[in-house]
Chain A
Amino acid sequence: MIDALSYGFMQRALLAGVLVGLLCGVLGFFVVLKRLSFIGVGISHSALGGIALGVLLGIEPLFAAAVFSTAIAWAIGWLTRSGRLHEDTAIGILFSASMALGVALISLSKSYQVDLFGYLFGNILAVSPADLWLLSGIAFVVLALVGLLFKELLFIAFDEEVARASGLAVTRLYLLLLTCLALAVIAAIRVVGLVLVEALLVIPAAIGYQLTRGYRSMLLVSVASAVLAALAGLWISYAFDIAAGATIVLVLAAGFFVALAIARPLHRERART
């Protein structure tokens, strides 16, 4: 593994793993507490429509996917907030329609089949310097926004009605959170692919939720789990020649079940004291 670090592609893969772990660990905190995991699935799968559009129009596919997924996230938010549809129904419709659009557009371009696999299941070893710049930019913007608005977002996650009554611009903040979610999904597509990106948004925060009692420690455990899983997954995938994205997700899943096993006695112990 140490030898491998001398390769540029491996250095970029490690940096991408750390950045995506940081980003998804932080956003996953809100995904789990605000119960946005199905929206996460909807946003990530809708990225396929954006990628296909990008290819067809000759635009950078991840850039097109960022715009497209953000639009889908807003559409889900608008349809739900305006009371026109239940959230799960809105997600079900837009997610499947976007994927169908992606598949239909891809079928028009016969030469596209090979790259598609990378977008669906990730190819962290193929992260280019340009991808890394895009990822760094997204990580900087999203983490800065979440950091600055953390207390408001936490209030909304806990009690949206009272947050609104106290004068917070809840709908705008919610749409901003969905936008950050869409951008994080795009950033993570290179690492684990759009099919598995949900795991990075949900599992690290779920580990934190199991093991901790306070939101600060939950956030810390969430970020640490995501970053460590990215690094460990990358190492295992290199050592055993397994697909990196899937390995990262499997490491996370194993971590979650360990956390679950530890958490029960831990909660019992706390209840006694």
Chain B
Amino acid sequence: MNQSAQPIILARDLGIDIDGRPVLWNIDLSVQPGSFVGIIGPNGAGKTTLLRVLLGLIPVTHGTVSVFGRPPSDLGGRAREIGYVPQRPNFDPRFPVSVRDVVMMGCSASLGLLRSPRRADWEHVDTLIERVGLAGKHASRIGELSGGEQQRAFLARALCGRTRLLLLDEATTGLDLPAQHELYALLHRLRHEMNLTVLAVSHDLLELSGHADELACINGTTHIHGKPHTVLHSHELREAYRCEFDFLSKEATAEGTRR
């Protein structure tokens, strides 16, 4: 992680109102190139809203935010450098697309309008499918994969363009523990291999704290942003969740912070 480089994401005093109601306020966030930052917070804290702001899907009401040095709504071609893995999408399991087709969708924007995929594009897709551990599943219908395999396919889709920044929204929700571990391990490997910056939103702070370089805890506003160990033991975390974490035993913390 290069601390002196210009941040990939920079938010200063960011505020978002939706239908006249403040959802986020005084958000400060800085994400350095190559880092893995976890966004944690209770339900309704505005974590997904923050991701949607970074994707340019929600306009900024107050303050400033930049991604790759530009406002998210004005990223132009740089939008293709952002990969997005949403919460497990509620798609029709009989939707007639294969894993290859789904991953190729991620290349749509970088291919450009009116251009059909060529042999090299399909080869790139096949390589990505193998990199996320889905070799042999290229032709499987997406709805026939397990939840963990589907998330791998969606991860490959998010990497299909010229991705440098990966945004994940509760990507492990609904997965069993081994599948969660496998997805995070895969994320770690890809992050180093592909020189990615990762911003992951999760309500599972123990799981995320075991994998992220930094955690930012928000509940409407930024309560604390720092190293996982510091955040987990902070007064601000308890304030954000409005409860005491008695379940955070030394063992759990040690497990959570293990790399």
Which residues of A pack against B, CB within 8 Å?
33, 148-149, 151-152, 154-155, 158-159, 161-168, 209, 212-215, 217-218
Asked whether any CB of chain A lies closer than 8 Å to the CB of B180, the reply is: no
Task: Determine if B22 is an interface residue (Cβ-Cβ < 8 Å).
Answer: no
Q: Which of A149, A213, A215, A217: most chain B CB closer than 10 A?
A: A213
Does B39 make an interface contact (CB < 8 A)?
no
Contact present for A218 and B96 (CB under 8 Å): yes
Q: How many angstroms between the C-alpha atoms of A215 and B92 in the bound complex?
A: 13
- Write the nearest CB–CB distance from B173 to chain A, whole angstroms: 15
Q: B141: which of A152, A164, A165, A213 is its contact (CB, 8 Å)? A: A213
- Closest A residue, CB atoms, query B117: A151
Q: How far is the CA of A62 from the CA of B92 in the complex (A)?
A: 36
| Chain B residues within 8 Å of A, Cβ to Cβ | 55-57, 75, 79-80, 82, 84, 86, 89, 91-92, 94-98, 101-102, 104-106, 108-109, 111, 113-114, 116-117, 141, 154, 157, 161
Q: With A33-B95, A166-B80 given, is the CB distance from A155 to B57 under 8 Å?
A: no
* Cross-interface CB contact of A215 among B91, B96, B109, cutoff 8 Å: B96
Q: Is the CB of A155 within 8 A of B105?
A: yes
Asked whether, in the complex, the Cβ of A151 is within 8 Å of the Cβ of B108, the reply is yes
Smallest Cβ distance from B125 to chain A, in angstroms? 12
| Complex Cα spacing A152 to B161, Å | 14
Determine chain B's interface SS by DSSP, over half rule: loop
- Determine the chain A residues whose CB is within 8 A of the CB of B97 once the complex forms: 154, 158, 214-215
In Å, the complex CA distance between A105 and B154 comes to 52
Contact for A149 among B98, B101, B113, CB less than 8 A: B113
Is A165 touching B82 in the complex (CB atoms < 8 A)? Answer: yes
Q: Assess the A163–B96 pair: CB atoms within 8 A.
A: no
- Contacts A148-B114, A151-B116 known; A163 to B94 CB distance under 8 Å? no
Whole-angstrom distance from the CB of B224 to the nearest CB of chain A? 28
Main secondary structure of the interface of A (DSSP, over half): helix
A contact residues around B106 at 8 Å (CB): 166
Tell me if A162 and B157 are in contact (CB < 8 A). Answer: yes
Interface pair B98/A166, CB less than 8 Å apart: no
Q: Are B96 and A161 in contact (CB under 8 A)?
A: no
The 9 A-B pairs of least Cβ separation, nearest first, read A167-B79, A167-B109, A155-B105, A165-B84, A165-B55, A166-B109, A215-B96, A148-B114, A218-B96
User: Judging by beta carbons under 8 Å apart, are B86 and A168 in contact?
Assistant: no
Known contacts A159-B86, A165-B82, then 19 further A-B pairs from the complex at CB < 8 Å, ordered by chain A residue: A33-B96, A148-B113, A151-B104, A151-B108, A155-B105, A155-B108, A159-B91, A165-B56, A166-B79, A166-B106, A166-B161, A167-B79, A167-B80, A167-B109, A168-B108, A168-B109, A213-B96, A213-B141, A214-B101
- Shortest Cβ distance from residue B192 to the other chain A in the assembled complex, whole angstroms: 24
Select B86's contact among A161, A209, A218, beta carbons within 8 Å: A161
In chain B, what residue has the closest Cβ to A170?
B57
Q: What are the residues of chain B within 8 A of A158 when measuring CB–CB? A: 91, 95, 97, 102, 105
The answer for the CA separation of A212 and B56 in the assembled complex, in Å, is 37
User: Smallest CB-CB separation from B160: which chain A residue?
Assistant: A166
Nearest CB in chain B: distance from A132 CB, A? 29
| Residues in chain A near residue B57, CB distance under 8 A | 161, 164-165
A159-B89 in contact (CB<8A):
yes
> B55, A163: Cβ atoms under 8 Å?
no
- Are B84 and A162 neighbours in the complex by a CB distance under 8 Å? yes
A101 to chain B, nearest CB (A): 33
Q: Could you tell me the distance between the alpha carbons of A163 and B154 in the complex, rounded to whole angstroms?
A: 12
Beta-carbon contact of B96 and A214 below 8 Å: yes
- Known contacts A165-B57, A165-B82, A166-B80; A212 and B96 CB within 8 A of each other: yes
- Chain B residue numbers with a CB within 8 Å of A214 are 96-98, 101, 141
Q: Assess the A166–B91 pair: CB atoms within 8 A.
A: no
